[in-house]
Structure formats: C-alpha cells, structure tokens
Chain A
Amino acid sequence: MSEFLPDPTGPFVSDLFSFPAHLLESQNYATSSGHYVAQLNLLSQTYSGTRTVMGDGSCFYRSFLYGLIMQLADEGNEDERVRIEEYIKGSLATLTSQGYEEMIMEGFQEELLDLLSQIPPSRTSDEINLHNILIHPNGPSQMSTWYCRPLCSSYIKSNPETFKPVLLIDYPSIDSYCKSQIEPSSVESEEISIQAIVSAFGVKVNVEYLDGHDGEKVMRHVFGEGRIEIDMLYRPGHYDLLYRK
C-alpha cells in the first residue's frame, strides 16, 4: 500500500488544496484496482479541502498537532487554548513522576509551550503566519510533534486499566509497548495510541477510512470527545487532514 505514500521530503503540512481533486491528481488512485475514486467522491459530499502531511511515520501526530493548533487560533476557542496550555504546563511533572528524564522532556515541553504562545489572538488575520511557523523545519513544530508521543505513553501509563487488557495480548508490559510502539520517531500510530492521545488532550478526531473495499460507503472512526474536532483521511499507512464544506 506504499503506492499512496506522499513524498517524505515534502513540507510537514501542505497548503490547503481542493478535495478530492488534489488527491486524484497527485496520487495514483485512478489506476488502482480498489474503489478509491468512488470512496473519494462519496467523501466529497462532506469535505471540500485537504492538506497532505509528510509521510515519515509521524503523519498522525503531525496532522493532530496542526489541526489542533490552527483551531486554537479560532475566536471562540480561547477557553480551549487556556485548557490545553495548562495541560502542557502540568505534563512535565507527570512524565517525570513516570520515570522520564526531566531535563530531556523539558526541552520538548518548552518547544510546545513556545508554539502555543505564538498562536495569534485571531486566526483570520494571521493564518498564513501560523501555518509557516508550523511547517518551519527548524522551528518548534518538529519537537512539539514528537512530544505528543510521550504524552500518549504517559496517558496509557496513567490509565492502565483501560489499556492493559488490549496491550498485554501482544506486549509483555505497558512500558515495553510505549518504548517500542510509541516513542521511536518512525513508528506510526495505531488505534491504541490514537485513543490515548485524543483522550490526553480532550480532543475529538474523526478518521475517514479509505480502504478501497466498497465504493458505496466509507467507514468513519471517531476517537475521543471534545469541543475541538479534527477531521482526517486515512489510507492504509498514512493520514492527511480534511476540511468540511
């Protein structure tokens, strides 16, 4: 399924393109045997825009953080911005108490707090500026994106009763799962880690599951709940952002 993976050297997150035209032009869905084109057309009843996200193993976390930060700039989401900022400020103490090295984690936390502090009071005036901060290769976005991983581990470790029954089927311990399946930079997220990250942030993520199986319907997976909702498109192995009409 790697045929649909976008260029890993592209920008972290692309400009806003029209959906599904951009995906039909830039990916080889049309020549694929699956019902991808039909599914994309079905989704076009709901969505009109997409941003493609770098395919380096962190596409979920990158889509998540981008979608979140952009919406925190919306007027009316001031309370959410304050709430998320408080959560990030408190996260270091939790991570340290769970055995993470304070000095190392502090470096990531500072970058994410720096990113949150750059959110303009109104998105309408400064959206492009915020977009440029989020895609700058040497800016705070890269380390902030990775910081979502230990936050995800931390949530799992704080709520073992929720995750243990699933994790202990395949992994000897929660620690070993987090260390091998969440924290390495190149390991993609999966349902468990998505469930954990949306719960940790108190945000809702809708994933439209483009599997090519059935041209009559597209499965939508809903993770978490919250006032902020982030829409994503999943095609096997990759996440991109979606925008509603």
Chain B
Amino acid sequence: MSTSARRRLLRDFRRLQNDPPSGITGAPLDTNIMLWQAVIFGPDETAWEGGTFKLTLEFSEDYPNKAPSVRFLTKMFHPNIYNDGQICLDILQNQWSPIYDISAILTSIQSLLCDPNPASPANSEASRLYSENRREYNRRVREIVEQSWVDES
C-alpha cells in the first residue's frame, strides 16, 4: 500500500544511497520498509574511533509527522543513551520536525556521540564521569568500542 509514510521512506532510502553521509549506513529490512537497521561508525580521532554501533529505527504510518523510535542495539556508554539503547535527543522528541530524514537523524546521533548534552542525562554514571573524570570516561568508551566488534546483538 502506498501511503505518504512509505513514499517518504523510499525517498529517504534514495537520498541515503545517492548521498551517503560518512560513517553511516542504513537500510530497511527486506520484508518491512517500516523497520530499518543502521550502523554508525565511531568518528575518527575520538574515543569512539573504530566502533561499529548498530541501531534500529521503527517508523509508524505517522512518519514523517512523528519521529521514528530509534534505539541502539549495541551496548553503549554515553550520557544521553539509556541502558536499553534509547536515545535522549531533542530532535527525536519535542523538537522533531519532518525536515529530518533518516540521513539527518543518523548524522545527529553520530555527532551526539562526541558532543553529549549534559543537561539531559540518561545514564547518570556516564554523565558524572564525562564531567568529573574524562580520562576514566574515555577508557569506558573504548571498552564499549571493543565490545562493539564482538557484539552480535
């Protein structure tokens, strides 16, 4: 069935293929265009370098008027990412706008990795270490990076 949500997802897919942002891949499941898997690669020259972080994006028929539900499958350690992989990011919540396509969503999450928002903590330990003990924080992040290579979640 061609609904505006599905038409838009095809458009998002075309844009992601034609103009792929660096360090990001994503595609819908073969059987369901409303469910996507994506991988964000940790940005170079940061503690996240070398990490391969898997996510799922779940879209409803209200997309793009409503944000998709986005979750990390890979275990993360980050001030704005909950233990269950949910992400605290304004554009996925109250600042959502249909202007953000899949490419833009994943790019924003990628920049959130290195640029956390201390005002909205989702992981209190990561928040605390990020502001009080950056050295230990970076060590924990590098542990997550190494785990991401073996994680088969």
Distance in angstroms from A194 CB to nearest chain B CB is 19
Instruction: Report the minimal beta-carbon distance from B4 to chain A, rounded to whole angstroms.
Output: 5
Known: A107-B7, A140-B4. A185 touches B101 (CB 8 A): no
When the two chains form their complex, are residues B97 and A143 in contact, meaning their CB atoms are under 8 A apart? Answer: no
Q: Is the CB of B95 within 8 A of A180?
A: yes
In the complex, are the beta carbons of A108 and B98 less than 8 A apart?
yes
What chain A residues lie within 8 Å of B101 (beta carbons)? 101, 104
Whether A103 contacts B11 by the Cβ 8 Å rule is yes
- Which residues A68-112 have CB closer than 8 A to chain B? 100-101, 103-104, 106-108, 111
Q: Point out the residues of chain B lying under 8 angstroms from A106, CB to CB.
A: 11
Q: Main SS of the interface on chain B?
A: loop
B136 at the interface (CB under 8 A from A): no
Q: Distance in Å from the Cβ of A98 to the closest Cβ of chain B?
A: 12
B32 within 8 A of A: no
Among residues of A, the one whose C-beta sits closest to the C-beta of B7 is A107
- Say how far A162's CB is from chain B's closest CB, in angstroms: 23
In the assembled complex, which residues on chain A have CB atoms less than 8 Å from the CB atom of B7?
A: 107
B136 to chain A, nearest CB (A): 35
Closest to B101 in A: A104
**In the bound complex, how far is the Cα of B94 from the Cα of A108, in angstroms?**
21
Known A101-B101, A184-B97, A185-B96; judge A143-B65 contact (CB<8 A): yes
B128 at the interface (CB under 8 A from A): no
Q: How far is the CA of A142 from the CA of B66 in the complex (A)?
A: 11
- Is residue B15 within 8 Å, beta carbon to beta carbon, of the partner chain? yes
Q: Give the residue name and chain of the B residue nearest to A56 (CB).
A: B65
Query: Which residue on A lies nearest to B61, using beta carbons?
Result: A138
User: Which of A165-190 touch B at CB < 8 Å?
Assistant: 179-180, 183-186
Find out whether the CB atom of B15 lies under 8 angstroms from the CB atom of A185.
Answer: no
- Tell me whether A138 and B5 are in contact (CB under 8 A): yes
> In the assembled complex, which residues on chain B have CB atoms less than 8 Å from the CB atom of A150?
99
Taking CB atoms, residues of chain A closer than 8 Å to B68 are: none
Q: List 15 A-B contacts (CB under 8 A).
A: A100-B99, A101-B99, A103-B11, A104-B99, A107-B7, A108-B98, A137-B61, A142-B4, A142-B62, A142-B65, A149-B97, A184-B97, A185-B96, A185-B97, A186-B94
The chain B residues found within 8 Å of chain A, CB to CB, are 3-5, 7-8, 11, 14-15, 61-62, 64-66, 94-99, 101
> Which A residues are within 8 Å of any B CB, using their own CB?
100-101, 103-104, 106-108, 111, 137-140, 142-143, 146, 149-150, 179-180, 183-186
